[in-house]
Amino acid sequence: MSISLVGLPGSGKTTVGRQLARRLRLPFVDSDHAIESRIGCSIREFFDREGEERFRDIEEDVLDELSKNANSVLSTGGGAVLRANNRGNLHARGKVVYLKSTPEELFRRLRHDVSRPLLQVSDPLARMRELFAIRDPLYRETAHFVLETGRPSVATLVNMIVMQLELSGAIPSVD
């Protein structure tokens, strides 16, 4: 079973993904780490040097490869849904969970994080609101399940995902 997590930067895709993979006894893959391995530098460096369009080309290739892996939990980058190919491949090749957070909640989590290129602007909260407005419909289009992250613990979110997967018949009941 392939499970992909989508959502805005800081929504918990990597943290929740690691725990979900452990719970389901599946390998965990972070697409951002796979991209950094391929390009040989940080995404931020590459973004600054080559631009967003070139980054999205590489991201599309990496997601195409990673989404073909039938048995893993995949954490995607926040902008993975911007390309129709990515949305289609992720949706068709496994179950997709949208970890939905408000821009205000994400801003609270990320306000001191300088590693995220799209938030290095004069008004990061306005930028988060803009990203949410653009991407929320794309996340919803891609996802099989939408989970409001709000303030539940990581363990609670993992339980909620497992319950959704079980109820949908995507995975057998797990203890």
- Is 22 annotated as ligand-binding? no
- Is 13 annotated as ligand-binding? yes
- Is 38 annotated as ligand-binding? no
- Is 129 annotated as ligand-binding? no
- Is 123 annotated as ligand-binding? no
* DSSP one-letter string for 144-167: SEEEE-SS--HHHHHHHHHHHHHH
What is the signed CA dihedral for 65, 71, 76, 82, rounded to 10 degrees? Answer: 60
- Is 11 annotated as ligand-binding? yes
Angle at 95 between CA 91 and CA 100, to 5 degrees: 90
Rounded to whole angstroms, the Cα distance separating 173 from 104 reads 35
- Is 25 annotated as ligand-binding? no
- Is 135 annotated as ligand-binding? yes
- Is 32 annotated as ligand-binding? yes
Binding site, by residue number, is: 10-15, 32, 56, 78, 116, 135
Binding site for substrate, by residue number, is: 32, 56, 78, 135
Binding site for ATP, by residue number, is: 10-15, 116
Binding site for Mg(2+), by residue number, is: 14
